[in-house]
Amino acid sequence: MSFSHELGNTLFYLLMASFALSVVHAVQTGNGFEPVAADTIYTDMQLEPFLKENYDALNGTDKVVVNTTTGLVLAGFVIKSPHGQEGILAKDTDILAWWNQYQVAKRGHWWSPWSPASCCVWNGIGKPTSYSMSYTSFSSWSFKAGFSASWNLVQRALEMSIHYPVTESYNRTGTQTCELNGVGPVQVWYRQHMVWADMQKQFCIVGTSPSLHCGSWSAYYRVDTPISGIYEVKCNVGEDKTKCEAPGLPCFYRT
């Protein structure tokens, strides 16, 4: 069974109308990106030949495609053939395909607030003392309510526009030498270098002609993620500069 051009055009307008309604619904309910995860494909090919050549790898899967020419990340592919059997796409056969594409519209970096990362130590010796203190801290990526894209998709989008080694999560464990002249307490504090990005989504369709049609870009969805290996630690001394009973600390003791 084959699609006529008239049926293909009708389907296109129905899809675009459905997309417009879904955008309104997303704004009203806070629904964001669809969850997308799996392998990644990089390409600089023109879109329609690429879709034809990669039909089996893309259609109905969760694969993420990075367009290295535009920097856009594409996902959620549905690919159909208006002429002939699906899955048998000749080079000169028109296709009907739609997907979502994503971009990083704005980005930057920032430091997380300082937070306690070790147990407290008090000086029971009565003279200035150095302590080798163990500390640990954990940071992970986060997103604005309504956002539900996979880390794979987010990372691919970030790597096209941000030259930092971003990571889904970063766990730092180490030791820090702290000097204590008085009674104390002394405690290691930690902060993490982070990246922020405002991401957007756009619905696109290729109908029974080569022309590409895309809807408007969505509202911004804020993403924050740690930068691997970039952090700071310091020693805080005194009751007013430490939080010895902060949640998550493994101990509370005096020496």
Question: Poorest-confidence range of 2-6, 25-29, 123-127?
Answer: 25-29
Residue 62, amino acid: D
Highest mean predicted confidence (pLDDT) among 6-10, 77-81, 161-165: 161-165
Q: In 62-198, where does DSSP find H-type helix?
A: 151-159
Residue 121, amino acid: V
Question: Poorest-confidence range of 1-10, 86-95, 238-247?
Answer: 1-10
Output the pLDDT for position 120. Answer: 93
Sequence spans of domains, the chain: 5-241
Output the pLDDT for position 138. Answer: 94
Report how far residue 210's alpha carbon sits from residue 193's, in angstroms, rounded to the nearest whole number.
Answer: 45
Q: What is the pLDDT of residues 174-185, one digit of tens each?
A: 999 999 887 789
Residue that the structure tokens 């889904």 belong to:
168
Are 78 and 59 spatial neighbours (Cβ–Cβ below 8 Å)? yes
Report how far residue 78's alpha carbon sits from residue 169's, in angstroms, rounded to the nearest whole number.
Answer: 32
Bridge partners of 221? 199
Q: What is the mean pLDDT of the chain?
A: 78
Q: Which helix (H) or strand (E) holds 195?
A: strand 186-206
More confident residue, 14 or 29: 14
Report how far residue 118's alpha carbon sits from residue 135's, in angstroms, rounded to the nearest whole number.
Answer: 5
DSSP letter assigned to residue 166: B
More confident residue, 249 or 84: 249
Number of residues that make up the chain: 255
Q: What is the pLDDT of residues 125-165, one digit of tens each?
A: 778 889 999 999 999 999 887 776 888 899 999 988 888 89
